[in-house]
Amino acid sequence: MTAKVFSLLVKSDKVVIFSKSSCEDSQKAKSIFDDLKQKYTAVEVDRREDGQFLQMHLGVVTGCAIMPRIFIVGKCIGGTYDLIELQKNGQLLAVVSCLVGKEAEFSSAFFFVK
């Protein structure tokens, strides 16, 4: 059941952040999207009954269970440090700009996904 729930959560929004409510890196990732005025869905795994299973499933799917795990249009881009790197080299702004437009345009710009 967790795999199905996970899949639905990842598809629930263009940007989905799996995080922990008390995690500084999770807060930083959210603030980056807030600063860009990009809407996102935050899944606080520490506040969910199935959170432990979701975190383990994240580890299986992404190769890393450390929070946060950030998904853009269903693809994991990594964690906060990966997000900061995308921001530093200008790719994050390009991606966020594409999210406002058509997803077809976005997919061609989404070359950095891990």
Quick: pLDDT tens for 93-103. 888 877 766 44
Confidence at residue 101, expressed as pLDDT on a 0 to 100 scale? 60
- 1 CB-near residues (< 8 Å, 6+ apart): none
Please name the fold of domain 2-109: Glutaredoxin (3.40.30)
% of the chain beyond a pLDDT of 90? 70
Residues 68-76 have a mean pLDDT of 93
pLDDT in tens, 22-46: 999 999 999 999 999 899 999 999 9
Domain range annotation of the chain: 2-109
| pLDDT beyond 90 at 69 | yes
Whole-angstrom Cα Rg for the chain: 13
Helices (H), 1-114: 2-10, 24-35, 51-62, 80-88, 91-100, 103-109
% of the chain beyond a pLDDT of 70? 86
pLDDT in tens, 1-30: 578 999 999 999 999 999 999 999 999 999
In angstroms, the CA 11 to CA 9 distance is 5
What's the pTM value of the predicted model, to 2 decimals?
Answer: 0.86
Place of tokens 């530093």: 88
Pairing of strands 41-44, 15-19: parallel
Written as six digits, the tokens of 87 are 């921001």
